Amino acid sequence: MNFCQDCGIKGGCMQTRRDVLGKRRRYQCPKCGRRWTTYEVPEELVDKYRKMRNIAPDRQHRLQQMSKTLEKLLAEEMSCD
Ligand SMILES: [Zn+2]
């Protein structure tokens, strides 16, 4: 989502950062100045995550950690400054 929720026009990418789970981009609306952040999580990672639901019990801890991280990313994607 790189369109301003207020104006519906395309935001300019101000910053791109590599994150553990993908790319993090900062956008700003050229009209109203609204800023927001998006995450691009690679498809294969989401796929891996889904497969991890069936992993052995000794790796459940890791699954929980990854689950938390993904939830956090998705929450942040929806939020704005
Ligand atoms: Zn705007």
pLDDT, tens digit only, all 81 positions of the chain:
689 999 999 999 999 888 777 788 899 999 999 999 887 877 777 777 767 766 555 666 666 677 777 777 666 655 544
Within a domain: residue 75? yes
pLDDT for 31: 96
pLDDT for 54: 66
Within a domain: residue 76? yes
Tokens at 72, concatenated: 């956090």
- H/E stretch holding 43: helix 43-51
CA of residue 33 to ligand 1 center, whole Å: 6
CA of residue 12 to ligand 1 center, whole Å: 11
CA of residue 13 to ligand 1 center, whole Å: 13
Within a domain: residue 71? yes
**What's the structural domain count of the chain?**
1
> Cβ distance 4 to 34 under 8 Å?
yes
pLDDT for 78: 54
Full residue range of the structural domain in which residue 47 is found:
12-80
pLDDT for 76: 62
**Residue type at 71 in one-letter notation:** E
Within a domain: residue 57? yes
What residue has token string 């100045």?
A: 33
